[in-house]
Amino acid sequence: MKQLVKIYSASWCQPCKSAKRLLTERGLKYEEIDIEERGWSREDLFDLTGGRTVPQIVIDGQPVGGYDELLKLDHEGKLNG
């Protein structure tokens, strides 16, 4: 089953780049939302995802956290491309 992935990011964020690379390697398409381009604050991000740091990753409507949490899902075999 295809997973719907959103990644909230910023252009300067290295973990964001790593997360996008991992998603691409796993064959997962994602929607990237750059919080700086949109003019969103960390509070705006928190209201949407429950996290204040970038990246924030949401899969099938469920916030999963940042790059470390994405990596954990990958190690558990839970990223389906």
Q: Note the pLDDT of residue 1.
A: 52
In a domain, 81, yes or no: no
Tell me what pLDDT residue 35 has: 97
Is 18 inside a domain boundary?
A: yes
Give the Cβ contact number of residue 18 at 10 Å: 14
The pLDDT assigned to 80 comes to: 75
Cα(17)–Cα(19) distance, integer angstroms: 5
Q: What is the pTM of this model?
A: 0.92
Peptide bond into 55 cis (omega under 30): yes
Tell me: the pLDDT tens digits for 8-61? 999 999 999 999 999 999 999 999 999 999 999 999 999 999 999 999 999 999
- Residue whose structure tokens are 């994405």: 70
Q: 19: which 2 tokens?
A: 């997360």
The CATH number of the domain holding residue 47 is 3.40.30.10
Provide the pLDDT for residue 2. Answer: 66
- Tally of domains within the chain: 1
80 within some domain = no
Cβ pair 14, 62 in contact under 8 A: no
